[in-house]
Structure 1
Amino acid sequence: MLPLLKLLLLCQSLSAGSEALWLDQLVQKVWPRVDKWVQQMVEEQVKPQICESLPSVLRDRIKFKDMTLGCVSPQFGPLIVREREKGTVVLDVGVYLASDMDMSISIAGLDLGIRKFYLSGTMSVVFRPPSEKPPFFGGMEIYFVNPPEVDLDFTGLASVAECPGLRGRVRTAINDVMNNFMTLPQRIPVDLCEDDDVDLADLRFPMPLGILRITLLSAEDLPAADFDWHHAGKSFKAVLAEMVGLSHLTGEAREASPGQPLSSAYESVFKKNQTSDPFVVISLGQKKWESAVMRKTTSPDWSKDCSDSSNVADMAVYEMGQNVSIGVWDYDNLSTHDHLGGNRVLVSELVRFAGDERGWIPLDHTLSLERAGVKSGSLKLRASLLRLNDIPRNPAEVKDSVMVDGPSQMFFSAKILGAVGLPANGAPPYVLRVTIGRDTVDSGGDAVKEIQLKSKGSTAMVGATAVAEELRRVCCNLAQKGLPPKQIASVVGVSEMVVAHAIGSASADSDDDESSEATYTVQEIGATHPEWDEVLSALLPWPLFKSADLLLELKLELVDSHGKVVGTSAQQPLSLKDVLCNSESPGLLSRAFRLAKPVRWVRSTEALSRQGSTASAQDKGMILRASLSL
């Protein structure tokens, strides 16, 4: 495609140097607007996270002063262009920022300031899907494949002891906001062409490339972080008695004593009985997985002691360049866990494509662990990449043909668009809860836990202000034709109060009244027509299905800002056989590790009943528009 080649050549020429001066200068011009936007983000997201991390007695005693990113804008470069599947073009941009940030925090009379903010990482700009007409792509996504390196320079608080943990909480809050905002799988979507079928929700929440499965095998030569008092036994008692006896000697008598507990028996007992309670934490993107704790050992064997797949981690992969962070920790009941060692490796280094019908083949790895730059043992694991595959047309063949062993067999996603017909006096923002399965016991006697997904808070529908103005115009036209407010409300589908406000604002001379009416109408639209444009996803284990009929139980609940359930769908089983009759259907993890064309099941409407009412949702005019793709 000629436009695509031109774009590639242009970007390659821009990336020839180590700096992108044109991009530096462009961002410098808009930096004041970026500064205001970041200030709003700090106000809405960073500050609440810092407050929530503090003890409850301090939350009311913390004050934030005005902040600014300063005048120094980021530098960009190098620029690297790569082409991905199906004509997708990716522009990788190096980003470095050393901002003269100014932010002050006062807590319980103690002042803490931030004077420098450092950020370094690689930002990806993805153009997809390709189009034959300008601008030649339907959308754009901006994200960090891996979390950027973030650091802060603090001022104030002569020592950390003056306010324990505050600096760490500030760092953690800023890192969390950055990761939750634009680190995979999160991203900033941009619709480049409003006339096409590209959905912002699909741009923001694309299907993963595959599922990375890591099987934890064993570890060797881990550092000892604990002392095993129980197994020290009589040897330690003898050493302790000798130490107590020596404590009563002084001067020459102590020096003449033949006992050397600190250099011989003491050292022997303590070295012999040093141990750890290791467990492993694996992080990919924003997902974390923790293994079982192996008690009193520096050479744990998870493959021997975990026969129920509890040593297997399944995580969605969106870029082969994503980092997998692996940390080994010593479990402590009464204090923070001790870090024993860690490593970081790319997804592309963990798996290998065979290039034939075998697809992606599992690989065994022995990773060296380091702690503070010093080798601290090794970790053995097995990694494979599972590709999403189609379900066979005959669901009875699923278990024998494509289902893999392990903790996950199906990738479920629910595309949440919006709801209509909610009461005007509701309490937005609303949260949608999706419950998959139910707590039960399977045929083998093992407990099966339900999986619950939760959306973010709803917003008013896109273009609510324009809709409010159009509603006002329609209400006024109908009123001029002699229709009473009650009938207008019934025709337009809004409350009589909105109609009264619309007619009243039309006859008012004040611009403030009209602005107030528009605001009121937008607020009501947010209450009656909330939108999410979000995709919730989860990996499902096979026991959630009723094996005989391959049924999956699903329940939807609408919760307002006060935590009250205002609407719910009856928990009902969904048959995979019925799903396959649609033009789009679900996908399982393929044993062959091949990428199949993603096929989705789309359910256009899902009925919700009013809480506490036996009337159907359609009778009450409450229909939730949700597309579900298993």
Structure 2
Amino acid sequence: MASSLVDALTASGGAEPAGFLNDIVEQLWPNISVAGANIAKSVVEPILASTLPGPLSSLHFVKLDFGHVPIQLSNVDVHKATNEGIKLDLDVNWEGVCDIELDGNHVPKIGIEKVHLKGRLTILLCPLTNVIPLIGAAQVAFINPPSLKLDFTDAANIADCFLIEKTVRNTILGIISGMAVLPNRFLVKLDANNDYFKTYQPHHGILRLTVEKATGITAPKKSGASRLLQKIVKDVPDCYVKVNVGAEAEWRTKVQKNNHDPEWNETHDFLVSDYEQNIAVDIQDDDLAGDDDIGLGSTSIKQMLLHGGSEDLSLTHKGEPTTARLSLHAKLYNFVAEPSLLSAQNAQGHGPGEICGLVTILIANVANLQGQRDELNPSVKVSWGGKEFATMAKTYTPGTDIFNPSFDQAFTIPLTADLLADPASFRIALVNGKEEVGGVEVGFQDVVGAPAMVKAESYDVGGEAVVRASISIYGVRLAE
């Protein structure tokens, strides 16, 4: 492995204790509790209503007290980020003694008395400026999905408590992943005039992961009708693998039937936001009566690459070690601004579905909107190659400038050979409510031909309004 890649993987300022940070958190805890409760009420509660099933969708917070036990921080690592910012990685552990109540229609009142939260945070401070407070914004995210356990009170003795706990916990974890698990970051502006183009942290590259084979797989123990069937037919598992990296979409291999030592040799590309991101694997037995867990395993991108790109993972089942192992192989590709890598001829050298480049579209803000402030409900829609994205819609609230709203949102489009065969133009449209009120098209080759393959401008979308947007296109090259 080339020294430059090793240097990137092992870059660290060294782990430090977090004594003074914990002292600050302890002093600020009453304020943090109020701010956290407000976020839970305004952000989490509406998502619970839209995602929880059946009667649980009516659950809402009637009490939100995070208690007196503050979050504990440890193992702080400070080093320079790739965009010249400061990066802090630190462990978070919260054994919260809380007083939280949720109530709803046709469901018992649910109380949460303890919250057990563990994870590793990354805090990105950038851009650095020469004006107080010297930092434009802070971006906070868990590097990997955190561990979360909730201790319930009122529902503790009812038969379906486990189902409620699992459903609520998984929904909350989903909300956390969508907001603040890499590649998603929770942005807090420290300077009202902060430049989002200098704030955004691009992906490091792509991880090309191959699931080769598993050995020593045994079928899980059955019960009921499945156990009766097992007496008639020899139970040999039909295995597939679920793979997760951060909050990226889950990937599943095909099913290999009737095999204790299944081989897949399937490859998938994942976007890499941090080398400490985990590669989590879950081998399942495909079953008409419901898929069964066979084994779990994990490693980090950093660990796997430092091991030469190959690793045999030991698998566990229900927390217990097993003799089963899963063989993985990985390569890291960096994003580079080189037009030749995006030629149709070069793209044809990539396999079906392989990522051969990345488009990143940043929407910073809109300026010079016209109309009555209470009638404005602006958002920005971006479309390219059959893919469509939209920012959050803004509405007027006292103290906000609805005529010049900030969005600070990023959208990424992995490029594959079929998309590069005849690339369309990008369309950036200004939307008010559900009605498109203006737009502009930007040619693909105009971006490729721009300096550093980045085209950042304030685009005139009509009616005096402008959208400040950045479009970048990069190819991929094997990391060295």
- Change beyond 3 A, Cα 1:423–1:160: farther
Q: Which residue of 1 aligns with 2:387?
A: 451
Helix, strand or coil for the counterpart of 1:351? helix
Greater strand percent: which structure?
2
Residue 204 of structure 2 corresponds to residue 214 of structure 1: no
Alignment equivalent of 1:532, drawn from 386, 390, 407: 407
Runs of 5+ consecutive residues of structure 1 not aligned to the other structure: 1-10, 228-261, 304-310, 354-361, 438-449, 465-518, 586-599, 608-617
Q: Which residue of 2 aligns with 1:180?
A: 178
Contact 2:204/2:273, CA 8 A, preserved across alignment: yes
Q: How big is the shift at 1:627?
A: 2.0
| Structure-to-structure mapping, 1:425-574, within 5 angstroms | 429-437=377-385, 450-458=386-394, 519=398, 525-526=401-402, 528-547=403-422, 551-559=423-431, 564-567=434-437, 569=439, 574=443
| Structure label with greater radius of gyration | 1
Q: Which residue of 2 aligns with 1:629?
A: 472
Distance 2:135 2:378 in 1: 33
2:315 aligned partner, one-letter code: L
Q: Which residue of 2 aligns with 1:69?
A: 66
Helix, strand or coil for the counterpart of 1:102? strand
Distance 2:172 2:55 in 1: 22
TM-score after normalising by structure 1: 0.63
Distance 1:218 1:169 in 2: 33
Distance 1:345 1:330 in 2: 22
- Change beyond 3 A, Cα 1:41–1:575: closer
After superposition, the C-alpha distances for 1:19-39 in whole angstroms (9 at most, x for unaligned) are 50x322322222111111111
- Change beyond 3 A, Cα 1:96–1:427: same
| Structure-to-structure mapping, 1:7-46, within 5 angstroms | 15=16, 18=17, 20=19, 22-46=20-44
Q: How big is the shift at 1:366?
A: 2.6
2:292 aligned partner, one-letter code: D
Greater helix percent: which structure?
1
Contact 1:341/1:376, CA 8 A, preserved across alignment: no
Distance 1:606 1:161 in 2: 60
Distance 1:141 1:581 in 2: 31
Residue 354 of structure 2 corresponds to residue 407 of structure 1: yes
Helix, strand or coil for the counterpart of 1:185? coil
Helix, strand or coil for the counterpart of 1:101? strand
| Structure-to-structure mapping, 1:14-413, within 5 angstroms | 15=16, 18=17, 20=19, 22-60=20-58, 62-83=59-80, 85=82, 88-107=85-104, 108-128=106-126, 140-159=138-157, 161-162=159-160, 165-189=163-187, 199-200=195-196, 202-203=198-199, 205-224=200-219, 269-270=232-233, 272=234, 274-294=235-255, 296-298=257-259, 299-303=261-265, 311-332=266-287, 335=290, 337-352=291-306, 363-372=309-318, 373-375=320-322, 377-392=324-339, 396=343, 399-400=345-346, 404-405=350-351, 406-413=353-360
- Change beyond 3 A, Cα 1:278–1:555: farther
Contact 1:459/1:532, CA 8 A, preserved across alignment: no
- Change beyond 3 A, Cα 1:329–1:457: farther
Distance 2:182 2:257 in 1: 37
- Change beyond 3 A, Cα 1:140–1:412: same
Contact 1:128/1:137, CA 8 A, preserved across alignment: yes
Q: How big is the shift at 1:584?
A: 3.6
Residue 294 of structure 2 corresponds to residue 424 of structure 1: no
After superposition, the C-alpha distances for 1:549-590 in whole angstroms (9 at most, x for unaligned) are xx33433455555xx2333647x68242x33442241xxxxx
TM-score after normalising by structure 2: 0.80
2:27 aligned partner, one-letter code: K
Percent identical among aligned pairs is 21
Distance 2:431 2:36 in 1: 30
Runs of 5+ consecutive residues of structure 2 not aligned to the other structure: 1-12, 223-227, 474-480
1:326 aligned partner, one-letter code: V
Distance 1:64 1:401 in 2: 51
Residue 455 of structure 2 corresponds to residue 601 of structure 1: yes
